[in-house]
Structure 1
Amino acid sequence: MPKTTLPVSNELRETLRWVTERLRGIYGPRLKRLILFGSWARGEAGPESDANVLIVLEGPTGAYEESKRGGKADQPGRDQGGSLSRHGPFFRPHR
């Protein structure tokens, strides 16, 4: 599937920059990519839409360790609901 660039609101762009920098501080060079998916990526986002982001890291690690480290990325007040939410971590074996 080819990459496409869709218009993103300035507010979302600012939030994604903040998230990227926060994650770089936590994961350093292991952070390889953030991928926007869901309604924003499809160009179907509405006023109540959240932003779905897949975080791609390099290198194997344990689920417990990543869960603890990932909790450091949460900070209240970054969205209208009062906090960032996350699901996972999900792992694919390193090949």
Structure 2
Amino acid sequence: MSFAIPTQPQRRHVSVGAFFDRFGGAKWAILADTTPEVQAVVRDASVRRYIDLDNPDLPAGLAVIQAAGHDIDAEQIVDAPVTDGERP
């Protein structure tokens, strides 16, 4: 009889820089956006040690960025696999 060692689910954390890189070509426009709502999202992300892609508040923050007119793929940002280079 063999026993399987339970594995911890992989945390879906990315560094703050890697999170902003997930915005692709829209990254610089988002970071330069001076609207209070977008700045609030950028500041909130910037003060964190990492971004938890499973945080239930994340889709709302991405929706704020989209509502400001930025063409981002929120699903891709959240659901893309985390690469070793993105980990904090």
**TM range, normalised to the smaller chain?**
0.3 to 0.5
Greater fraction helix: 2
TM-score (ref. length: structure 1): 0.32
TM-score (ref. length: structure 2): 0.34
Greater fraction strand: 1
More contact order relative to length (CA 8 Å, sep ≥ 6):
2
| Bigger Cα Rg | 2
